[in-house]
A and B are shown apart, each in its own frame.
Chain A
Amino acid sequence: MTEAEIRQLVCDILSDIAPETDPALLSGGRDIREGLDIDSMDFLNFIIALSKRAGVSIPEEDYPKLFTIDGVVAYLTSIGQP
């Protein structure tokens, strides 16, 4: 996946979870939990959808790396997803 594809995927998943928001407008470094009013249950659903749709398994200890969209991009790029 290219960086643009990852960003698109993240925005797609987030707008499923918080359809009242436009994740594309969120700055890449902002905590999505604050910026989009995502609670811990929503965040867990985000991780589950992300690992499924990106085809990677994400250990729980890596969750804090995924609090921002930039963080997700860096993370998926670094683990060399398919």
Chain B
Amino acid sequence: MGEHRLADGHTMTRNAASEMSERRIIKDRAALSPRPNLFDYEAERSHFEWADAWKLLDGLPGGEGYNIAHEAVDRHTTGSRAKKVAIRWIGKAGEQREFTYEDLRSATSRFANALAALGVKPGERVFILMGRLPELYMAVLGTLKARCVASPLFSAFGPEPIATRINIGGGRVLVTTPELYRRKVEAVRDRMPTLSDVILVGDGDVDGLGLHRWSSLMNAASPEYRIGPTDPEDMALLHFTSGTTGRPKGAIHVHGAVVAHHVTGLYALDLHDDDIYWCTADPGWVTGTSYGILAPLTNGVTSIVVEADFDAQTWYSTLERERISVWYSAPTAIRMMMRLGAEAAKKYDLSALRFAASVGEPLNPEAVVWGVEAFGLPFHDNWWQTETGGIMIANLAALDIKPGSMGVPLPGIEAAILRHEKGRNVEVIAEPMVEGELALRKGWPSMMRGYLGEEERYRKCFVGDWYLTGDLAKRDADGYYWFVGRADDVIKSAGHLIGPFEVESALMEHPAVAEAGVIGKPDPTVGEIVKAFVALKPGYEPSESLRKELLGHGRKRLGPAVAPKELDFSANLPKTRSGKIMRRLLKSRELGLPEGDLSTLESDEK
């Protein structure tokens, strides 16, 4: 096997004839500085117990339980971290604001008091819809302090996804900006009966019921708040995800998940006390909450928050200026940076950077290795889901990287590849490199505790002791996992899951649409783009202007993150005998692949 020396002491083994699973970026763990928190993977895996990990946290004073906000913020303010910068926020125009742990403590206490003043009770849901403003972070943590349930929504959602999610969650409070309220909430406000209070951050006039100004609520509230007794099993966070059918699912996470946020921050992101850490994900997605808000704070590091959206050069200058040492990003952004070339990155002084990780979808091997070329260090891909609440499988600081793999299960996490027939005749596949469904032994602290109001769908995620991930994968002989694909029709675009049903439903609301089928079309940059196939009602003819109208209709309802980017007309969509649109067949046809078993195909174009 040939060896290629790469920059910064990394060695890449390569052999054209060898399986991809044998390629490695070899690490010399003893040479790494600081010493990785998870230095001896095998030993830690055999010793680790979640029950012991609670000792890394403080718990509420007086033994009154565990509250995420206490572990993330308050506990740091009695010691040397009180004056340490917790969050350095960089606005769109380049302006900066710094918040120490003590600043965060008082701001989040004010928000918790403000919720109480509005009569909001523990357990009630607070939705947060805004760009990455400092108030977003204060609202999420203040909500947790008040023992209410925080649900951050992606600000690129359109009115439909927003209303659907607030209704599923029975949202009592929405924290947003006047502009987003006008553009995305006002028109659907009367369809959200549970929403009684809207807190507006920033200036701008809007009309409506139950509107409050952030600034006046905060000014009127005390900066002192005593967190009430919090059971680790109390609901803390509601994160929405999408399935193939039906409405989005609100995955419930509890306060006790914080022990997993903390430990995975230590082990998978290798957070050390003096790190300057940057998670590029938006808190509207689970990564941006678990690792953009919680894990860095529980670990007491300084977290950088960048309001602006991706732009390669802005990112490089942020990495340079802020002296970022640990960076958690996503494949779509990495591939966009690759388009710019490694030379562009080399113009910046990124010498502070010591660890880079990626999540969202499999990072292709070229991109892992490109990290070495551009930054002098490889990207560490890792894998987890909204439902798992935290990183489960990861390429680790002290272990060799296998480019293209998900990595190895973290201490405390048992993974397996299962063969089963819709949850029956379950069998663990022991042989390496055999495809099956990736499953996790249930019981880790950040495992979802339910889909809100959807007991049946929750139950279906489990078989015996196993949580079924819906992802197909294989495990190699060294214990590294390799992602194969989704077991269902869920679309993964720029790392985010999009449910085809939600998109189809919005298209069907247009008077011209008789039927709609939506698939993920492979795309080299974002993984998959949303593509719609539409059959028109009698009296409508396909035309360029109707195509644009339907695309615009989708964007208006769903927002750019969820709406189709492409739309084709089709006289008749392939359906099963029971009338379900066969998305898989639409996809095979789009890609020119063999169509597979058509025995259940009912109509049309067989």
Known: A38-B560, A41-B529. A33 touches B340 (CB 8 A): no
Chain A residues within an 8 Å CB radius of B313 = 61, 64
Contact A39/B560 with A19-B555, A20-B555, A44-B525 known, Cβ cut-off 8 Å? yes
- Cβ contact of A19, chosen from B312, B344, B493, B551, cutoff 8 A: B551
Q: Is B494 an interface residue (CB 8 A)?
A: yes
Provide the residues of chain A in CB contact with B344, threshold 8 Å.
60-61
User: Nearest residue in B to A59 (C-beta to C-beta)?
Assistant: B340
Complex interface: chain B residues within 8 A of A37 (CB): 156, 555, 559-560
- The chain A residue sitting closest to B179, CB to CB, is A34
Considering the chains assembled together, what is the distance between the CA atoms of A54 and B148 in angstroms? 53
Write the chain B residue with the least CB distance to A60. Answer: B340
B residues in contact with A15, CB < 8 Å: 548
Chain B residues whose C-beta falls within 8 Å of the C-beta of A19 in the assembled complex: 548-549, 551-552, 555
Chain B proximity of A28: nearest CB distance (Å): 18
What B residues does A18 contact at CB under 8 A? 552, 555, 560
Considering the chains assembled together, what is the distance between the CA atoms of A19 and B548 in angstroms?
A: 6
Complex CA distance for A16 and B547, rounded to whole angstroms: 10
- Interface flag for B48 (CB, 8 Å): no
A3 at the interface (CB under 8 A from B): no
Within 8 A of A (CB), among B292-335: 309-314, 332
Query: In the assembled complex, how far is the CB of residue B155 from the closest CB belonging to chain A, in whole angstroms?
Result: 10
Q: Which residues of B contact A41 (CB under 8 A)?
A: 493-494, 523, 525-526, 529, 565
Chain A residues with CB under 8 A of B494: 39-41
Using Cβ atoms and an 8 Å threshold, which residues of chain A touch B551? Answer: 19-20
Complex: A61 Cα to B336 Cα, angstroms: 11
A16 to B, closest residue via Cβ: B548
Contacts of A44 in B (CB 8 A): 336, 525
Q: With contacts A19-B548, A20-B552, A33-B309 known, is A40 near B332, CB below 8 A? A: yes
- Check B555–A64 contact: CB distance below 8 A: no
Residues from chain B with Cβ under 8 Å of A38 in the complex = 560
Query: Is B556 close to A, CB under 8 A?
Result: yes
CA A66 – CA B529 in complex, angstroms? 23
Question: How far in angstroms is the closest Cβ of chain A from B521?
Answer: 12
B523, B526, B553, B560: residue with the most chain A Cβ atoms closer than 10 Å: B560
Binary contact track B520-563/A, C-beta < 8 Å → 1, others 0: 00010110010000000000000000001101110110011100
B339 sits at the interface (CB 8 A): yes
Give B125-176 interface residues, CB cut-off 8 Å to A: 156
Q: Closest CB of chain A to B321's CB: distance in Å?
A: 16
Bound Cα distance from A63 to B340, whole angstroms? 10
Minimum C-beta distance from A23 to chain B (A):
12
Question: Considering the chains assembled together, what is the distance between the CA atoms of A20 and B560 in angstroms?
Answer: 11
Q: How far is the CA of A64 from the CA of B341 in the complex (A)?
A: 16
Q: Which residues of B contact A39 (CB under 8 A)?
A: 156, 309, 494, 560-561
In the complex, chain B residues whose CB is within 8 Å of the CB of A40: 309-310, 332, 336, 494
Complex: A41 Cα to B525 Cα, angstroms: 8
Query: What residues of A have a CB within 8 angstroms of the CB of B310 in the complex?
Result: 40
Proximity bits, A5-44, B CB within 8 Å = 1, else 0? 0000000000110111100000000000100011111101
The chain A residues found within 8 Å of chain B, CB to CB, are 15-16, 18-21, 33, 37-42, 44-45, 60-61, 63-64
Known: A41-B525, A64-B314. 5 other contacts (CB 8 A): A20-B552, A20-B553, A40-B332, A61-B312, A61-B340
Interface pairs A-B: 3 shortest CB-CB: A20-B552, A19-B552, A19-B548
